[in-house]
Amino acid sequence: MSSPVASDPQASRPLFPVFADLHGRTVLVVGGGTVALRKATALREAGARVRVGAPALNAELAALAERGDIEHLPGEFAPHWLDDAWLAIAATDDDVVNRAVAEAGEARRLWVNVVDDAQASTVQIPARVDRGPLQVAISSGGAAPMLARHLRETLETQLDASLGELANLLGRERTRIRARFPQLGARRRFFDRLLRGKVPALLRKRQHLAAEREFAAQLHAEVPSSRGSVALVGAGPGDPGLLTLRALRVLNEADVILHDRLVSDEVMQLVRRDAQRIEVGKQAGNHHATQAQIHALMLDHAGAGKRVVRLKGGDPFVFGRGGEELEVLRDAGIDFEVVPGITAALACAAYAGVPLTHRDHAQSVRLVTAHCKDSDDTLDWQALAQERQTLAVYMGVAGLDRFSARLIEHGRAASTPFAIVENGSRANQRVIVGTLSDLAQRAREHDVQSPALLIVGEVAALADTLHWFGAPPLRGAPAIAAAA
């Protein structure tokens, strides 16, 4: 999306989507050919009063004018054609005319679309998927109309025609739904039950009467008492494609999301829009205070009947303090579930092309954390330094000198390969490879930042040949440093 690479300024100009109510409002279409006809027809479907300006009209447009369905302004474009118009569409095959319409519109602060010319347009007409009152509009901001069209075709096949019926039904029943569930939370839960229930399926089968009956039954059914709950959910390493289906489902049903800073923006975009989001990212050195606050937030919101998602990077049970959080919930008698996530070790290894075990190199893998300053003294260095195993080290980027020195001291060869995976599975992933003897130096040279995972063991060398995601592994000093 926002790429640091400089690109066409027009393509990167963000657009604001709106759906305009043109009912009974005048819209000027300039042009008398098939494109103008298409625009005039779509505008008429939206209830607009269409005025078509052109020296001559094609047969269909002429027929519409004859019937009085459109008004025809003959001759060459003149700015007064825009009088009373709310919107103008320039649909001629003459650039000069199209630009004249755009300029005249600009002077009057009137929105003008020039067909197939994003540059000259102040408003763009999106590709659309229509399901009755339900409309999906797609725009690429003029950057890639073919892509927008492709997406439209995909959605056409995926969005069942009955969605329009469903939208109509909900529209008709809106007042009754509001009266039955005056409170937003209860209403939201009703919609969740409804949309996952039988009504959409009946409409898909075109059983309208049965759908209406089922709707009425659900509207008046006894409401299950809303007990709050907490789902402890693993968000994976960053790539939203690595979320589980269960995680996605739970994120879509949540009322409140308590998320770590490690959870990527891409994953957060999949969260139900109207859920309350609370970032509970922990500041270094302030773990305990914040952990207590997280516990309090979970208890408060679940206690108030909300469905809370506690969303954590990777897997909630791998260096995630998930156990502590569940103990608190259990003591408070709050329902909970755990949705596993892809932990950094598995994701980083996969996305760097490092098989964690390998018949020739490693028969076991250890997940280790070296996060806290004082905790490395409690690690079993003897065991960590053993041959034929892989270490996956979750840690801050500090302390690598000590880490490699300890391993070598306890017998691991200085020539043992390592791979550091920074921002694993994300667009900005970097992989840095080398051997234990130069671990800290390489990390410094490449200015490795958190989050980063360290993999130590013979398998790390395979990143050189098996990498497939993002840039190839880096070794040695980076180009800028070398040039300096």
Residues annotated as part of the active site: 260, 282
Number of residues that bind ligand SAH (CB under 6 A): 24
Interacting stretch for ligand SAH, rule CB under 6 A, among 272-280, 329-337, 375-383, 448-456?
448-456
Q: 120 vs 263, which CB is nearer to ligand SAH?
A: 263
- Is 318 annotated to bind a ligand? Reply is yes
Q: Is 55 annotated as a binding residue?
A: yes
The reply to whether 331 sits in an annotated binding site is no
Residue 472 annotated as lining a ligand binding site:
no
How does DSSP assign 26-66, residue by residue?
A: EEEEE--SHHHHHHHHHHHHTT-EEEEE-SS--HHHHHHHH
228 has binding-site annotation: no
| Interface map 348-377 toward ligand SAH (x if CB under 6 A) | x-----------------------------
At a CB cut-off of 8 Å and minimum separation 6, what does 371 contact? 319, 394, 395, 396
As a whole number of angstroms, the distance between CA 182 and CA 467 comes to: 55
Place of tokens 């260096």: 319
- Which residue of this chain has its Cβ atom nearest to ligand SAH in the complex? 314
Closer to ligand SAH by Cβ: residue 301 or 310:
310
- CB 61, min distance to ligand SAH, A: 57
Nearer to ligand SAH, 353 or 424 (CB): 424
Whose tokens are 């009467």? That residue is 209
On whether the CB atoms of residues 78 and 26 are closer than 8 A, the answer is no
Query: Given candidates 318, 349, 391, 439, which one binds ligand SAH under the rule CB under 6 A?
Result: 318
Choose, by CB under 6 A, the member of 166, 344, 352, 431 that binds ligand SAH. Answer: 344
DSSP β-ladder status, 430-435 and 364-369 = unpaired
Q: Give the integer Cα–Cα distance in Å for 38 and 22.
A: 16
Residue 113 forms beta bridges with which residues? 89
Question: Applying CB under 6 A, does 421 fall inside the site for ligand SAH?
Answer: yes
User: According to the binding rule CB under 6 A, does residue 400 interact with ligand SAH?
Assistant: no
Other CB atoms within 10 Å distance of the CB of residue 484: 6
Shortest Å distance, C-beta 319 to ligand SAH: 4
Structure tokens that stand for 421 in this block: 């995976």
Q: Is 69 helix (H, G, I), strand (E, B) or coil?
A: coil
The least CB distance from residue 17 to ligand SAH, in Å, is: 31
- For 236, 302, 464, the CA distances from 341, given in Å and listed in that order, are 5, 22, 27
- State which residue, 53 or 234, has the beta carbon closest to ligand SAH: 234
Residue 238 interacts with ligand SAH (CB under 6 A): yes or no: yes
315 binds ligand SAH (CB under 6 A): yes
Do strands 452-456 and 134-138 pair parallel, antiparallel, or not at all (unpaired)? unpaired
Give yes or no for residue 325 binding ligand SAH (CB under 6 A): no
Residue 430 burial class via C-beta count within 10 angstroms: exposed 0-12, middle 13-18, buried 19 and up: buried
43 binds ligand SAH (CB under 6 A): no
Residue list 262-291, contact with ligand SAH (CB under 6 A): 262
Minimum Å gap between C-beta 317 and ligand SAH is 8
Q: Does 121 bind ligand SAH (CB under 6 A)?
A: no
Nearer to ligand SAH, 315 or 376 (CB): 315
Among 149, 447, 450, 471, binds ligand SAH (CB under 6 A): 450
**Smallest gap from residue 320 Cβ to ligand SAH (A):** 4
Q: Is 137 helix (H, G, I), strand (E, B) or coil?
A: strand
CB atoms within 10 A of CB 455: 25
In the complex, what is the shortest distance from the CB of residue 348 to ligand SAH, in angstroms, rounded to a whole number? Answer: 5
Distance between CA atoms of 448 and 470, rounded to whole angstroms?
16
Alpha-carbon distance of 98 to 28, in angstroms, equals: 12
Structure tokens at 9: 């300024």
Binding residues: 34-35, 55-56, 237, 313-315, 318, 343-344, 395, 424
Interacting residues with ligand SAH (CB under 6 A): 237-238, 262, 312-315, 318-320, 343-344, 348, 394-396, 421, 423-425, 450-453
